[in-house]
Structures are given as structure tokens and as C-alpha cells.
Structure 1
Amino acid sequence: MRTGLVLVTGASGFVGKWTVIELLRAGFDVRGSVRSEHKAEAVRAAVVAGLGHDALLRLSFAKVDLMHDRGWREAMIGVNAVAHVAAQILADEPKDMQVVIGPALEGTERVLRFAAAGGVKRIVLTSSIATVGYGHGHTRGARTYTEEHFTNLDAMQFTWAYCVGKTKAEKAAWAYARAEELALTTIHPGAILGPALDKDASISLQMVSGLLDGTTPAMPSNGFSVIDVRDVAAMHVAALQQPASAGQRYLATSDYVPFPEVGRILREAYPDRQITQKTVPDWIIKLLARFGGPTRQIINDIGNEKHFDRTKGEKLLGRAFISGQDAILATAESAIALDLLKPKRPR
């Protein structure tokens, strides 16, 4: 059954490829936004591997850039809905935060503006738990957040580019949706793990691959709420299939998993690998975060546990989320199968 044409931005990304596949599986036609033919070929290869060659008949591409207007008007022709998945994610905190904030904020505004101009009213936006669980004065112990919480950037001692960009972009999206009467849904993933489809995988997979190949010599003590990429993609499809999801935010988070627990899970599954048990003291992370770098991205989670209510997200999906352990193991399996592990350095 054909259910309309969906434009998927960032189609060649980790979440983008899975979203394209799940939309095609559900009967949608898909137009993926990419920046080059090389990226389009990667998406085609993933689709063929997952669904077979026939699915390519319902897949097309638009070569556009989030930071430029060129091509977006044509990209929206014939489109019934937009899944705005594209995001700029960096392992290290950039010196210039605009490298991340620009594509998040300006890119989101551009996509919504051209969607509205093209008569496209239905939008599903990939947001993040970064727009939910920060700036609430939570510094110690466990706390559970729901879709009612919204990150307060002004109350944060340490912000980071991704959090700022995503939060500003989501606020702008809701304001624009109200002004233009767009039917907007936002999906808020935690740390996205799960099986990679090719070597062009998300940096979030490094949380697992770095332990497997020994390039992570010690772990922080804090944890993170995990979500499997297959659940994130499925939630985008479910949102488009359920009109009642318009105007709603949905957390996409399964289990809260401390980094040392990730190490334990991997040691049990791969006893032949030398997976570190060392942790970095919290005070060192707090000190390093003042100078930027990757620790700046986790400093707000040191000393506390941020849990996110999965009830609403699982109701949208119609089933329980894939467990954190299964997502971690699926990540490891694909990292090994795709040869994503870095070779060990000689001693």
C-alpha cells in the first residue's frame, strides 16, 4: 500500500539510513536529502541490503545543503511529509560552537520554511534528550524527566554546542509550526546505539568500539540513557502513521546504563578482549571540562543520574523499546563485522 512521499533530511546518516529503510518497509515513498552522489549510493546500498532491489523504485534523492537555499524548493515538490533527521554531531567540542549550532538552527528553519512554502504541513523532527534534561538544577542523585521538561540553557553552568543547537532549533521549530499551522512532532533520542549499516557510522558507536579495541583506556563513571537506532527510526514512522502524534514530544530512551556497566556487558560477551575496568575520577572530568573537549559534553551528567520516562514513547511505538544491553551488543557485533575497530598500537 502506497502511503505518500516523505522527504528524509540527512538520509545518509546513521539514523537517516534506518529511517529511510523503515519508511520504505512501511509502504512510504522516500526522497532522501544528501549532499553528494556518493552519499546517495551509500543509502541505496543500505536499502538493497535491507529490503532488496525493488525498494529502489520508491526511493529518490535531492542534493541539497542545510546551509543553502538552493534546491530546497524542488526537493519539496510532491512531498506529503518531512522527517527532518539531519544533524551535525562532533566527538570533540568545537572551538567555534556555530559549526554545530548553525546547521541545527538555520538548517531546521530552512527545512520548515521551504516545507511550508511547498504546502507540506506534516513534519517529524529528530530532536534529543539534550533539549529536555538540562538546566533544572539537578546535580546529585537520580531524577526522571518527561516530555514536559524543556532544557533551560540560561540556567546551565556548562553548555555544549550540540545541546545549544538542538534546544534552540526545537524552540524555533515549535514557534514556526504554530505560526504556519504545521503539524509537528518531535522525537527525542538518548544515546543512539544499535547496528551500523556501513562504515559511515555514528560517533556514538565509539562508546562501544573504543572499549572493544582498547582506544578508550578509562571510562567516566556516569551513565546515559540508551536507545537503539531501529527504535528511533520506527518512532518516526509511527508518528507519521498516527495523526494524534502531531503537536507532541516523544522521548526515545530505553535503559539508563552507566559506562562501567557497558564495560561489564562487553567483557562478558567478548572475554578474549582486554576491555578496561578503569574509571576516570569525577574531579578530573570536571577540571578538563573547563577547557572544552569531549568532557564538556558529559560534565552535566557527572554525579547524577538522568532517567527519561519511556512510557509515552513506547505507547507511540506499540511495544517495548529494545533493551540497553541488546542495543550495546548489536553495536558491538556490527562494529566487528564492519571492521570499525581501530588496530591495536604496538607496545
Structure 2
Amino acid sequence: MQTGQVLVTGANGFVGKWTVLELLRAGFSVRGTVRSEGRAEAVRQAVAGQLGEAALSRLDFVRLDLMQDKGWAEAMEGIDAVAHVAAQILAEEPRDMQVVIGPALEGTERVLRFAVAADIRRVVMTSSIATVGYGHGHTSGKRGYSEADFTDLDAMKFTWAYCVGKTRAEQAAWAYARSEGLLLTTIHPGAILGPALDADASISLQMVSGLLEGSTPAMPSNGFSVVDVRDVAAMHVAALQQPETAGQRYLATASYLPFPEVADILRRAYPDWTITSKHVPDWIIKLLARFGGPARQIINDIGNEKHFDGSKGALLLGRPYISAEDAVLSAAESLIRLGLLKPRGA
């Protein structure tokens, strides 16, 4: 069992809650940052449901805002390491990209600055494959990417807020780590599926819920490198437990899964459900992307396959990833069990 206290930013998020759980399971104490007491209570309930009431003795919370200095110095007191997980993720591309970029970039800089001020040197940060596989001129066919690749925002025809925010935040984090001697590790998940712990489910699960409930009436042809949220959380913990991971990037991807295959997996598991089967032609998505909206967030993956090599991440885990199919099915099971699906036509 591990000792020490870890500050987890965005503790009430999809990845945040699972990271809190895995840290507590490993023996750490956890201080989670949240925006409200209600969100703290949701995390407590998730922890108690998974680990029992006794685990709550090693969990406390602080109410903080990534965009304000207030409270961060006090939150860092007694902390041994930071897991910076918080992120702003929107289903629609915002009119003002700073809504997403600000918390990503300024929020990351603030967390690292206050960690250094408190003499905390160990930080594990949730990044994304969005900081790896874009701006490389890849518009058709298959191409593989590894931790050695970095997104080139200047070379992208279509950027989107999440990609810009995550890429700039990672660039700033590595620059700050080098200048201040921070022991930084970055984890780069693909499309995060897996089980929701409560009704505050991730936007990424809409990939599954939309097909089940019909809110996605037609699907694109492209695919995603999928990873289970439980593996993403476990990788954060493993990185903290292994000092040699400092200075390293780790892709967190199980396998590439085309959107139509997600529908096929659900169709086999739920034969009595009317799973979405219609497809959106690529040319329509390319046209819509010019005006923003959800199409803008996937346009760079239309007409090509980006395969992200997660083998280094699997070595960090010390075991194979949970399969992409299991990630889809566990997401579906939790959405149904928690009553998070809208009736078709509602």
C-alpha cells in the first residue's frame, strides 16, 4: 500500500472520480478539487459505493476555480504529488474558443505554479491524443502515431478548441517543468469510454448513448482510438508509483474502433434495441465543419485512420488494456442501469 497525499484536480469529472478511486484503492490519501459541495458529495457517494465508507477517511475536498488564484496555496499544503485531471469538454464547438482554451492553458499554468510554490515536484497530468496526431498532413489512409509525435497547430486547416487548449497546455507544462525542475508525466487518452459511476457522465459517452437512444440519427464513418476510463485512472496511479516515468509521455489507447463498429457491438449485445444504422456521408461532414458545431471536432479524422500506439502505456499498466469492446459495453450497461438514456423520440 502507498502512503502520501495526492491533489486531484477536477475530482468530480469522469476521469477524476475514477482516479480518486484508484488512488484510494492503492493506499494514497486524496484531496480533490471541485467547483461546489454538491459535486464533492457525488464523489463521496461514488467512493463509498465502490470502496466502502472507511475509504472516506482518506478523502477531503477543496472548492477551487482553475481561473482564479484564490485557495490554491492552501490546497497545496501537505500535498506530496498532483494529478492534474481537470478539463473543460464541450459537445459543441463554442463560438468563443477561450471558454475551453482558458481553463486548459491558464488552469494548467496555475496548478503548476502553486505546486512549485509549495515545493511539490511530482505532477501527473491528463493530456490527450489531440496533442499528438494532428497537423501532420494526414488526410487519407492509415497512419500510426506514438509518444514521439506532437500536434502542429499551425499546420492544421481546421483546429478545434479542445485540441488547441490541450496542445498549448501540454507545451506550457513541459516548458515550465524544464525551467522549474518539475517531475512531470503526461497521460494521453483517446476516446474515453467505460462505466459511468453516477448521473454526471462524460460527454464522451454520448458516442454510445446516442446510438442507443437515437439522439445520433446517423453516424460518421470515421473511428477513434478507444480506452477504458478505468485504465486511464490506473495509468495515473501507476505513473505516480514509478519514479522513472517522470519526463515521459504515455499514450492511453486500447485499439482503433470505427463508429459503425461501435454500433455493431451494441447491436449484438442489445438485439431488441433499435440501434442507429444510418451513415452521414463524409462530404456533408466536411461541409458542416466549415460552420463549427460537432462536425468541427471530428473533421480531421474524416477520410483517414489515426492509430495511436498504446504499447508503452500498457507496459506502464503492467497488463493488457481493457478491450475497446468491453469499454463500449460497460459504458452501455452503466448508462442503462443509471437511467441516463432518453426514450427514443423524446
Q: Name the TM-score class by shorter chain.
A: over 0.9
Structure 1 segment 95-134 matched on structure 2, within 5 A: 95-134=95-134
Distance in structure 2 (CA, Å) of the matches to 1:294 and 1:276: 18
What residue number does 1:336 align with? Answer: 336
What residue number does 1:60 align with? Answer: 60
What residue number does 2:150 align with? Answer: 150
- Residue by residue over 1:163-216, the C-alpha shift from the partner in whole angstroms, topping out at 9 and shown as x without a partner, is 000000000000000111000000000000000000001000010011101111
Q: Matched residue of 1:247: which SS?
A: coil
What residue number does 1:255 align with? Answer: 255
Distance in structure 2 (CA, Å) of the matches to 1:281 and 1:213: 21
Aligned residues of 2:80 and 2:122 also touching (Cα < 8 A): yes
What residue number does 2:287 align with? Answer: 287
Distance in structure 2 (CA, Å) of the matches to 1:279 and 1:214: 13
Opposite residue 344 of structure 2, the aligned amino acid is: K
Tell me the CA shift for residue 2 of structure 1: 4.5
Aligned residues of 2:214 and 2:345 also touching (Cα < 8 A): no
Opposite residue 107 of structure 1, the aligned amino acid is: G
Distance in structure 1 (CA, Å) of the matches to 2:309 and 2:258: 17
Q: Matched residue of 1:192: which SS?
A: strand
What residue number does 2:176 align with? Answer: 176
Opposite residue 85 of structure 1, the aligned amino acid is: V
So what's the TM-score if we normalise by structure 1? 0.99
Q: Which of structure 1's runs of 4+ aligned residues deviate more than 4 A?
A: none
What value does the CA root-mean-square deviation take over the aligned residues? Answer: 0.6
- State percent identity of aligned pairs: 77
Opposite residue 86 of structure 2, the aligned amino acid is: A
Distance in structure 2 (CA, Å) of the matches to 1:20 and 1:328: 22
Distance in structure 2 (CA, Å) of the matches to 1:260 and 1:343: 22
Distance in structure 1 (CA, Å) of the matches to 2:227 and 2:233: 11
- Residue by residue over 1:26-52, the C-alpha shift from the partner in whole angstroms, topping out at 9 and shown as x without a partner, is 000000001111011000000000100
Distance in structure 2 (CA, Å) of the matches to 1:262 and 1:151: 27
Tell me the CA shift for residue 159 of structure 1: 0.1
Distance in structure 1 (CA, Å) of the matches to 2:189 and 2:33: 21
Tell me the number of residue pairs that the alignment of Structure 1 and Structure 2 aligns: 346
Tell me the CA shift for residue 310 of structure 1: 1.3
Q: Matched residue of 2:33: which SS?
A: strand
What residue number does 1:43 align with? Answer: 43
Any gaps of 5 or more consecutive residues in structure 2?
none
Opposite residue 42 of structure 1, the aligned amino acid is: A
Distance in structure 1 (CA, Å) of the matches to 2:325 and 2:182: 37
What residue number does 1:86 align with? Answer: 86
Q: Matched residue of 2:278: which SS?
A: coil
Tell me the CA shift for residue 255 of structure 1: 1.0
So what's the TM-score if we normalise by structure 2? 0.99
Tell me the CA shift for residue 66 of structure 1: 0.2
Distance in structure 1 (CA, Å) of the matches to 2:151 and 2:276: 33
What residue number does 2:4 align with? Answer: 4
